[in-house]
Amino acid sequence: MLRITSPCVKGGLCPATHFMENFLAIVVPFDDKRDPGAKPSIEALYQLVTDDLARVNEAILRHMESPVRLIPQLAGHIIAAGGKRLRPMLLLGAARLCGYRGQRHTGLAAAVEFIHTATLLHDDVVDDSDLRRGMATANNVWGNKPSVLVGDFLFSRSFQLMVSDGSLDVLAILSNASAVIAEGEVLQLTTANDTETSEAAYLEVITSKTATLFAAATRLGAVVAGRPKVEEEALHAFGLNLGIAFQLTDDVMDYASGAETMGKETGDDFREGKVTLPVIFAFRRGDDQERAFWQRTIENLAQDEGDLEKAIGLMTRHNALADSLERARHYTQLAHDALDIFPDSDIRRALLDVVAFCAARTY
């Protein structure tokens, strides 16, 4: 069986913003302490964009303010909940790769994080999730209603940020991405609990709901820098394939990592009956008896004690986890190769390190 560890989240990767405590309605406990032993491979990127990332965090805190106190309370809960700020960092890194020297990228990185956060809030409602990154979800603490509405607020705020940026190109990229994300979320609903979902349908879901925002974020780096279309497209391909690989490994980790390291509890997807690639492989490679097991547990959600362990056992027997990671490796390779047109530099190496991190974090 695969031995899976996760070196990424533990240390907390967001700069301290304690100086903002007095000026903000809520205290967002960003933690600047890094664990030197963890050596996450997104560290190099983090070091290169750290000043910009501090500005992104300031923008996030400033723009989630509202006289309606519940909004910053609830938004702060999820935004401060130890997220890696991976999408903003990728946007900042892509802009740096393109030689960008202005200030537009930080506001846009905040807009991207708001879209991501709005999606998470609605996702947790749709999935009835209780935990995210090891903390109670907003819907768990405040209920579904505020989660839906604060999600709407953050989504609107992200568009206000884009409008204040003033570029229709940027607005087109992010409004298109938002529509595709929503489409992917609905598609995921219609394939939920269906063990006969094809690998192609699964790929379409994760491309829409996860990879599209990665692609928009990295593409925007080239857009703000005013770089030629070929670089825009290269960075789009980089983000898209990285996003697919990221989600594939995430779906594998659900059957292999521990709650104490990832926040995400092992077996969340299983309990919710999500049909991810490991399930698709195990179902298709199984015999009739095994398929009956998947139908009972995933389609009918009739799960007993020990079923998760049995599911992991079947996946191991059929190489479902290892082969899912092989698929992920294919996409990390595509992401890696997408940066070939850029000359070697610190930031290019740092972005390639993120690719390595996405591949390495699961084994």
Binding residues for its own copies (CB under 8 A): 66-71, 118-119, 122, 125-126, 144-146, 148-150, 152-153, 155-157, 159-160, 162-163, 166, 168, 171-172, 175-176, 178-179, 181-183, 185-187, 189-190
Q: Which two tokens stand for residue 307?
A: 């079923």
Q: Cβ of residue 150: shortest distance to its own copies, in angstroms?
A: 6
Q: Which is nearer to its own copies, 190 or 300 (CB)?
A: 190
Q: Cβ of residue 200: shortest distance to its own copies, in angstroms?
A: 13
Contact 222, 98 (CB under 8 A): yes
Q: Cβ of residue 22: shortest distance to its own copies, in angstroms?
A: 24
Query: What is the CB neighbour count within 10 angstroms for residue 179?
Result: 12
Contact 308, 302 (CB under 8 A): no
What is d(CA 104, CA 257) in angstroms, rounded to the nearest whole number? 38
Close Cβ partners of 132 (under 8 Å, ≥ 6 residues apart):
78, 81, 120, 124, 263, 264
| Element spanning 136, H or E | strand 135-136
Q: Cβ of residue 315: shortest distance to its own copies, in angstroms?
A: 27
Q: Which is nearer to its own copies, 135 or 187 (CB)?
A: 187
What is d(CA 83, CA 85) in angstroms, rounded to the nearest whole number? 6
Q: Cβ of residue 209: shortest distance to its own copies, in angstroms?
A: 10
Rounded to the nearest angstrom, the gap between the alpha carbon of residue 318 and the centroid of all alpha carbons in its chain is: 28
Q: Which is nearer to its own copies, 70 or 292 (CB)?
A: 70
Instruction: Give the residues across from 135 on adjacent strands.
Output: 132
* Count of residues making up the chain: 363
What is d(CA 103, CA 224) in angstroms, rounded to the nearest whole number? 9
Rounded to the nearest angstrom, the gap between the alpha carbon of residue 305 and the centroid of all alpha carbons in its chain is: 30
Q: Which is nearer to its own copies, 181 or 234 (CB)?
A: 181
Q: Cβ of residue 130: shortest distance to its own copies, in angstroms?
A: 16
Q: Which is nearer to its own copies, 249 or 276 (CB)?
A: 276
- Phi, psi (degrees; rounded to nearest 5) at 58: -60, -45
Contact 178, 152 (CB under 8 A): no
Q: Which is nearer to its own copies, 155 or 270 (CB)?
A: 155
What is d(CA 224, CA 234) in angstroms, rounded to the nearest whole number? 15
Close Cβ partners of 47 (under 8 Å, ≥ 6 residues apart):
350
Q: Which is nearer to its own copies, 100 or 153 (CB)?
A: 153
Close Cβ partners of 309 (under 8 Å, ≥ 6 residues apart):
none
Q: Which is nearer to its own copies, 9 or 60 (CB)?
A: 60
What is d(CA 244, CA 253) in angstroms, rounded to the nearest whole number? 14
Q: Cβ of residue 115: shortest distance to its own copies, in angstroms?
A: 9
Q: Which is nearer to its own copies, 181 or 320 (CB)?
A: 181
Q: Cβ of residue 250: shortest distance to its own copies, in angstroms?
A: 20
What is d(CA 192, CA 275) in angstroms, rounded to the nearest whole number? 6
Q: Cβ of residue 362: shortest distance to its own copies, in angstroms?
A: 28
